[in-house]
Amino acid sequence: MEYENKELCSSCKGMCCKKSGCDYFVSDFERITKDEILKALLPGKISIVSAFKKSVINGKVILTPFLYLRARNKDRDIVDLFSMKKTCSMLTDTGCSYSLEDRPGGGVNLIPKKNGCKPLKDPIEEMRKWEPYQGVLAKIVKRITGKSVDKILREDVEEVLYQILTEQFDGISKREIADILSGLQDLILAFPNEYENAKIRAKKYIKIYEKKTTE
């Protein structure tokens, strides 16, 4: 089976990589410990990120973060719990800067096809293997930022909602914009205070913008 086809990737110009960096699998690491993950994060090529698990309790939408690691995206921090995804920082004009052997499992798992890359293993099942390490990753978030996962996440959600309201989509792929907008209603319902804060900031931004354009 062919795991890498640079000719195919160059023909689409790295469409997958331009949407986001690829996910790390648990199997990419010999051990998952606080020290080992901190060591892996040190070069600045990996981010701690999260995906939301949705539940509805007494009619209220709850979005719970599920932490894992991903190749760091351009203009994003090492702790990047929630943001609009951007191009992978490892993408170059000639393709991925990683060799196939050093590439995150999520990237290796995408098998190149003419009609679009297809995953070999179920990526959702691979992500679920991060479940036992949620506590470790949360401690690392605290170590790096001095803040809890909940605090960082709420700040990130407010910023994304603000960017959506002010249409700040520079460097964001059309696929990613569509994905983020598809979950907008859940974000608003799960984070009402952050939405209100984002609206206040957006109104100020729009007033400043309108003033500058009329001067």
The structure tokens listed for 153 are 């996440």
Q: What percent of the chain has pLDDT over 90?
A: 67
Looking at the 3D structure of the chain, how many domains does it have?
1
Indicate the SS3 state at residue 92: strand
Is pLDDT above 80 for 155? yes
The structure tokens listed for 213 are 């354009």
Q: What percent of the chain has pLDDT over 70?
A: 87
Q: Kindly report, residue by residue over 65-104, the tens digit of the pLDDT.
A: 999 999 999 999 999 999 999 988 988 877 788 888 888 9
pTM of the model: 0.88
Q: Is 16 exposed, middle or buried (0-12, 13-18, 19+ CB in 10 A)?
A: buried
Residue 1 inside a domain? The answer is no
Domain carrying residue 128? 6-214
| C-alpha Rg value of the chain to the nearest Å | 19
Question: What value does the mean pLDDT of the chain take?
Answer: 89
Q: What is the mean pLDDT of residues 148-168?
A: 97
Residue 83 parent element (H or E): none
Is pLDDT above 60 for 214? no
Residue 200 inside a domain? The answer is yes
Residue 27 inside a domain? The answer is yes
Question: What per-residue confidence (pLDDT) applies to 7?
Answer: 63
**108: confidence class by pLDDT, cuts 50, 70, 90:** confident
